[in-house]
Structure 1
């Protein structure tokens, strides 16, 4: 069993994030000591914490992470990851268009000042 501070260091999730995930029932401690309310996590929690960290880095919302945790099927996770990837590609295209528009705007301003 690992105290929350040890588990946070192991997983890269902050203590605050772990507390929040417990509050929203994403990742609950394996044991809470009734005497001092210390939270303890076990090895089984480690994989779930790593998965949640990855999903968060991929831009998943808490609702999407909850959906993954409740469904527990790889097919569902794979579908969500493909959807997220498609959304990121669309955002990249939109950002590239914005960059091009800025370049055009800057270029038109230079032409007028001559």
Structure 2
């Protein structure tokens, strides 16, 4: 028999934990060449080195233990090709998932950065792209608990796995704005991003918007709506749709009220 190595020696040679080698033995993936009947010590031979190299290679590709066992049981090129193709498909999906996560992180970073640098209480005329949303048409009064309607939205649109942080907006009807009723909203919106669960029920249309950002939350929005109205009248602009109000920085990401920033945008022509 070739030279024998203890499990500790094999662990050092291949940089594999002893516990992992014991597990490979238990599941039948890598049996020792010899087990001492009295001490129960495991011993491995050089003939097993190649098998362990293959196991390490497959594990580096994140193949499951069962898949590796299937390969060794068959030892066939077609099985190897099948395993690698299946794993490649999984990796491709993981890459797509990570790319989506990266986009979400980038979006949130840009949102926070933009809010931190915003000139507050200044009305701007901006052009914005179309944005897909899920819109729950439900009245919401300033000061009410928003968690209940959010729960309703989750249930109604099957959004149990969706992440709402930084993507919730309130809508205020054009009629209420023109009537100077700034304490009642007519809907709650979830801004959809790539990879979100659920299909859009509507969109925020592409076009021209008046936008203002201010310090505070929805409860501090009244003066900003008045500024938007004055600006539209002074510049002969017509409000053509509902306002969208979004907390860019609030209690969800900071305990410092002085850093709260909320944005209102209203479509005009």
TM-score above 0.5: yes
Paired residue secondary structure (1:37): coil
Paired residue secondary structure (1:59): coil
Query: Structure 1 regions of 5+ residues with no counterpart?
Result: none
* Residue 10 of structure 2, aligned match among 7, 11, 14: 7
Matched, 1:40 2:43: yes
Q: Which has the higher strand share?
A: 2
* Residue 53 of structure 2, aligned match among 40, 50, 72: 50
Please give the alpha-carbon distance, in whole angstroms, between the structure 1 residues aligned to 2:109 and 2:13: 48
How far 1:66 moved relative to its partner? 1.6
How far 1:30 moved relative to its partner? 0.7
Matched, 1:60 2:97: no
Please give the alpha-carbon distance, in whole angstroms, between the structure 1 residues aligned to 2:50 and 2:17: 16
Please give the alpha-carbon distance, in whole angstroms, between the structure 2 residues aligned to 1:108 and 1:35: 67
- Which TM-score applies when normalising by structure 2? 0.40
Relative to 1, partners in 2 of residues 1:69 and 1:107: Cα closer, same or farther, differing over 3 Å?
same
Query: Structure 2 regions of 5+ residues with no counterpart?
Result: 119-269
Matched, 1:23 2:9: no
Please give the alpha-carbon distance, in whole angstroms, between the structure 1 residues aligned to 2:115 and 2:9: 61
How far 1:36 moved relative to its partner? 1.5
Q: CA RMSD in A?
A: 1.6
Greater relative contact order (CA < 8 Å, ≥ 6 in sequence): 1
Corresponding residue of 1:107: 110
How far 1:86 moved relative to its partner? 2.3
Please give the alpha-carbon distance, in whole angstroms, between the structure 2 residues aligned to 1:28 and 1:110: 56
Please give the alpha-carbon distance, in whole angstroms, between the structure 2 residues aligned to 1:12 and 1:23: 19
Please give the alpha-carbon distance, in whole angstroms, between the structure 2 residues aligned to 1:38 and 1:52: 22
Q: Which moved further from structure 2: 103-112 or 37-46?
A: 103-112
Paired residue secondary structure (2:43): strand
Please give the alpha-carbon distance, in whole angstroms, between the structure 2 residues aligned to 1:90 and 1:6: 38
How far 1:112 moved relative to its partner? 4.3
Larger Rg: 2
Paired residue secondary structure (2:81): helix
Q: Which has the higher helix share?
A: 1
How far 1:35 moved relative to its partner? 2.3
Corresponding residue of 1:77: 80
Q: Which moved further from structure 2: 102-111 or 47-56?
A: 102-111
Please give the alpha-carbon distance, in whole angstroms, between the structure 2 residues aligned to 1:106 and 1:11: 42
